A and B are shown apart, each in its own frame.
Chain A
């Protein structure tokens, strides 16, 4: 089995599976939000904040933000290692790819902390 020190987990296969599992979670959460927005009564602060006050919804939101981080990190890693390569960028490719991936990792961590704060902050 091919292993790499830089992907999300230890092998490409587990990345592949993680990306699919997280996709299903994100799909379910997106549908939940779309349906809530479309079928609810006229959107109001009372109804909107009520929705996010349920423990189940908070847990689902937390799961979704976690899935988003896993999914986006694997996705951006795949893209970076496809395009930011020596055959496209020449000798500086490794440095550029590293910079880009560090930026992505930072954003992922920010999203995670931000999401936790939104859903569990108060």
Chain B
């Protein structure tokens, strides 16, 4: 192979502005929920199986560790949804400017933090 071929950018050489941090977090949460779906499907299956299964799922979710894990997955999903919706809106061509991205980024943070806190209250 010729070594003059182009290589991908060396990401480790950059300092990340806010929008880049939000973007990488969207990516990380995507991976987290990809694996977290296993937990959600497990709970769903258990809770739909029978009256006893439903009670078992409720019982399971009384432990602090289980609550914390569920909250983690739900938080990842909430962030991914908020940032993903922003992404879709911007793909549509709305706010596709530097200033627009900065504003949208702030809205993303505030909205997802609020939702994540609310989810915490709901789970506990």
Contact = CB atoms under 8 A, between A and B. Distances in A.
Given A87-B8, A87-B10, 8 more contacts: A27-B81, A27-B84, A30-B81, A72-B37, A87-B7, A107-B38, A111-B38, A114-B41
B39 to A, nearest CB: 12
B106 to A, nearest CB: 21
Contacts of B77: 30
B30 interface: yes
A85 interface: yes
Interface in B38-69: 38, 41, 44-45, 47-48, 50-51, 54-55
Contacts of A107: 34-35, 38
Binding site secondary structure of chain B: helix
A115 interface: yes
Q: How large is the interface on B (under 10, 10 to 19, 20 to 34, 35 or more residues)?
A: 20 to 34
A27 B86 CA distance: 12
Contacts of B122: 38
23 contacts: A20-B91, A23-B84, A24-B88, A27-B81, A27-B85, A30-B77, A30-B81, A44-B54, A45-B51, A45-B55, A49-B48, A52-B48, A75-B30, A76-B31, A76-B34, A79-B31, A85-B8, A87-B8, A87-B10, A104-B34, A107-B34, A118-B41, A118-B48
Closest 3 CB pairs of A and B: A45-B54, A72-B34, A45-B51
